[in-house]
Structure 1
């Protein structure tokens, strides 16, 4: 079964050739990496919206649904009034946190290197 992405479908044989494609398909989306980072703790929708400034309610909802579909996050609905919904990482989502930490470290080093380059120019 082909996987749907923003650009269309990715054939299974492409995933077999390049496993990075699968990772890219899961985290593709402007806000998904940031959402995953903030879900190191269980959060409610409003909290996420405050933690990810600039994301619209619709886009946040969409990206949360995609992450849930890809089994990276869990959505728990409490049957109360008003409705309460919490988002948390699944085991797959938790296993991605070290990758995000490595990305953060790379980003810090990259930013420092850019600053040093600007000073020498």
Structure 2
């Protein structure tokens, strides 16, 4: 067992995705379909390249994503989700549900998220299956 300050479930989860950039990178992979370093840099939140590189490395070390060679550019990589990463999708949706209720979410984003939430668990599980087909080649 790794040496953590606490073994509280919330603490342990936050050790993996407890900063805003990490969840936004995961969002970009899951919702926006981004897979390349430059694509992440183009997000509206404007993550700095050094922070992006650091978070991608941490996500890979934690087994949330993996990288493979980009067949179009041999010196570049493509980032993909692992099963462990795909399992974060319901958490993203619950975060979004909370934001829809309490924060001024952009209309376009609200419509997209609400459509997923309105579909219930069936829709969430369907999207997770789609993510598996894309990222895990199932």
Alpha-carbon spacing, 1:80–1:111, altered in 2? closer, same or farther (3 Å): closer
Cα distance between partner residues in 2 of 1:81 and 1:72: 23
Q: CA deviation at 1:52?
A: 5.1
**Which TM-score applies when normalising by structure 1?**
0.74
Q: Secondary structure at the match of 1:39?
A: helix
* Match of residue 111 from structure 1: 103
Q: CA deviation at 1:51?
A: 1.7
Instruction: For structure 1, list consecutive stretches of 5 or more residues without a partner in the other structure.
Output: 3-9, 113-121
> C-alpha root-mean-square deviation of aligned residues, in Å?
1.9
Counting matched residue pairs gives: 101
Cα distance between partner residues in 2 of 1:103 and 1:67: 19
CA distances 1:76-96 after superposition (whole Å, capped 9, x unpaired): 124775512111111011010
Alpha-carbon spacing, 1:52–1:27, altered in 2? closer, same or farther (3 Å): farther
Instruction: For structure 2, list consecutive stretches of 5 or more residues without a partner in the other structure.
Output: 105-138
Q: Which has the higher strand share?
A: 1
Contact 1:34 1:52 in 2 (8 A): no
